[in-house]
Structure 1
Amino acid sequence: MLSRVADNLYWFSRYIRRAENTARLVGVGSQLQLDLPRSVRFTWRPMIDTVGAGEVFESLHPDAGGDVGDAEVSRFLLLDPLNPSSLRSSVDGAREILRGIRDSLPQEVWEAVNDLHLYIEGNGERAITRRYRIEFISRIADGCLKVSGLLTANVSRDIGFNFMRLGTAIEQADMTTRIIDAGASGLITPRQEEDREAFSNMQWMAVLRSLAAYQMYRRNVRQRVTGEHALRFLLQNGDFPRSVVFCLSRAQRVLPGMPPRPAVDRHFNRVVGITRNADPAWLAAHNPAKFMDEVQVQLGDLHNAIVQGYFYS
């Protein structure tokens, strides 16, 4: 397979999974806004920093400051074409890649991605309002899952499919840590200190729901939602498909069927070891954001090793 085609397949799968999880990230805030009493202060700005787009946002909105509303943040994360990690940019990136590799994937995949593009163009502005935002997020998540289902059901298990699996797994692991980061990064400021634990548990419940993990959490953990239990489930559970360990372990199983690249193996082992050895109880008692940043840096190094090993070697 040409390295250009492999690179495109890898990034196509990453863009699709990024679009889905960007919608889910906004869903964390939207779900919390619906559940919280109006007396509780809710801050949207940490979501922008969570996806690493703080500098882009400040350059586009120099007078916004830290107290930005849900409409501004939702527009930036969902629709802004100048934000390279926005939902619209991700879908457009996947669509543009697909134009060049349409012979490599079934026609139904192109139709599903094009439907997503047209839906965003026609209904994106409605998503800025609270009334229609959850509906929009659900429709986007369903559309992205449709693309993933078509790829899983209709694409031959060759080396091209392996590159898509790599991209999907790494992107999902990265976005899971970012959604955890968003849920734990001070979105809620209670008026009274004794309310902090209750509202913190509500944040973790919103994180689980945004990752479609709440029902599986209840089935596997069988305890009330706390930061410790939610972190252990989303980071280390070996059976839940969106957990970081599950994603990375699944990606590791792809490597024996690909040309050997020792640097890629080393980076996989490093990030899997860091995640498996994390102490969820300690993370929950402190600020998990620093650990999530560390995992994201390691995932970035893993991505660079894949690029250097397979696409530019």
Structure 2
Amino acid sequence: MLSRVAENLYWLGRYIVRAENTARLISVHSHLLLDLPRGMTLGWSPLIDILGANEAFVERFGGDGALSEANVVRFLITDTENRSSVAASIAAAREILRIVRDSTPRDAWEHLNATHLFLQERGERHLPRAQRQTGLDRVIDTMLMMRGILGANMSHDVGYQFMRIGMNIEQADMTTRIVDVRTVDLIQSRSSDELQPFQHIQWMSVLRSLTALQAYRRHEKIRVSGPAVLRFLLQDRGFPRSVLYGLNAVSYALPRLPAYRGSERSIDRVRALIQDANFERLLERGLHEWIDEIQIGIGAIHEALTLSYFKPGEPPPPAQGSGVQTQTMTA
């Protein structure tokens, strides 16, 4: 398989998962308004933080004064200048499907193209809160349908493995981003004492953002709490949106590819950090710094795959901080 075809299939998987997760984030964030009491406001800046698109938003709309619901929703759904928006992710996936149409089912193109045209023609009409959920539901349903069509009708050869790897890396990355930002400053109130009674709402919002609330209740059988939610979303081996599940899925796919050892070492380092974590202690002393290490590790997995398969022979990039994963997010 040509390296450019492998890279296209890898990014196809990433863009499908990115569009779905972004749509879910906006949907859950909008519904959270109904759960909060009067006197507490819902900030929209965390959605920009989750996608690592702060600089792009400032360039597009200006400073903090522009962080209104209307601007953020437009930026994340229909703004094609934001390369992490729903519309931009679907457009990029559509272009990849056009390029690799010989390797993917025709049904996938038809469904994705229909949603792409829907966002182009009627996306702006579905930005106001009254119509927003209808448009987001269509995006989510299409992305889930894409997963089903590609998984059921595409030969599970090397190309499929690259796409599967892309899906799981993107999901692991999105899960860490959602946990990192949503557990810090999702709800804005006048004082920390005022916020304390509603901590469970915040943790339930984290679960809902990943469609994990029902699975959490079935698996944990305890009240929603910070440490238990973190264990489920980061360490659970059976839930497809958990970080450890995604890393294991990538590890299972790698043996079907040639010369995969470099990528396996990067995965092992991140898995060790997650498996050894004490979440009660991390919540007290610094969850953000620990998640930053996980995100850097996921970025290193992406770089290892890129150097091994997509751009072989290139020298490795210089060491970076958390910006590695921001660059991955906006690719």
Fold in common (TM above 0.5): yes
Please name the residue that 2:315 is paired with.
none
Q: Does 1:306 align with 2:305?
A: yes
CA distance in 1, matches of 2:218, 2:118: 34
TM-fit CA distance, 1:258: 1.1
Matched, 1:109 2:105: no
CA contact (8 A) 1:231 1:284 kept: no
- The answer on 1:49 being equivalent to 2:76 is no
What's the % identity of the aligned pairs?
A: 45
> 1:218-233 to 2 correspondence within 5 Å?
218-233=217-232
8 A contact 2:189–2:195 mirrored in 1: yes
- 1:157 and 2:178 matched: no
For structure 2, the 5+ residue unaligned runs are 313-331
Please state how far the C-alpha of 1:150 moved relative to its aligned partner: 0.4
State which drifts further: 120-129 or 102-111.
120-129
1:19 is aligned to 19
Match of 1:229, as an amino acid? Answer: A
Q: 1:138 to 1:286 in 2, by over 3 A?
A: farther
Distance in 2, Cα, partners of 1:136 & 1:181: 27
Partner-residue secondary structure (3-state), 2:200: helix
Contact preservation (8 Å) 1:176, 1:242: yes
Q: Is the 8 A contact 2:46 2:182 kept in 1?
A: no
Q: What secondary structure does 1:310 align onto?
A: helix
User: What is the aligned partner in structure 2 of residue 134 from structure 1?
Assistant: 133
Report deviation, 1:289. Answer: 3.0
- In structure 2, relative to structure 1, the CA distance for the partners of 1:67 and 1:283 (3 Å cut) is farther
* SS of residue paired to 1:253: helix
Root-mean-square deviation (Å): 1.6
Amino acid paired to 2:34: L
Separation in 1, partners of 2:53, 2:258: 34
Structure 1's 136 and 44: CA in aligned 2 closer, same or farther, altered over 3 A? same
Q: How does 1:1-313 map to 2 (within 5 A)?
A: 1-62=1-62, 64-65=63-64, 68-286=67-285, 288-313=287-312
User: Within 1, Cα distance between the matches of 2:28 and 2:294?
Assistant: 21
Q: Deviations over 1:175-201 (max 9, x none)?
A: 111122232131212335333233222
The runs of at least 4 consecutive aligned structure 1 residues that moved more than 4 Å come to none
**What amino acid maps onto 1:182 in structure 2?**
V
Deviation of 1:148 after TM superposition, in Å, equals: 0.3
3-state DSSP class of the match of 1:109? helix
Contact kept in structure 2, 1:46 and 1:185, CA below 8 Å:
no
> Offset at 1:275?
1.7
Distance 1:85 1:274 in 2: 28
Amino acid at match of 2:93: A
Judging changes above 3 Å, is the alpha-carbon distance between structure 1 residues 134 and 34 closer, same or farther for their aligned structure 2 residues? farther
Instruction: Structure 1 unaligned segments of length 5 or more: list them.
Output: none
Measure the CA separation in 1 of the matches of 2:198 and 2:81. Answer: 34
CA distance in 2: counterparts of 1:298 and 1:102, whole angstroms: 32
Write the distance in 2 (CA, Å) between the matches of 1:137 and 1:290.
Answer: 32
Could you tell me how far apart the structure 1 residues matched to 2:213 and 2:26 are? 17
Aligned residues: 312
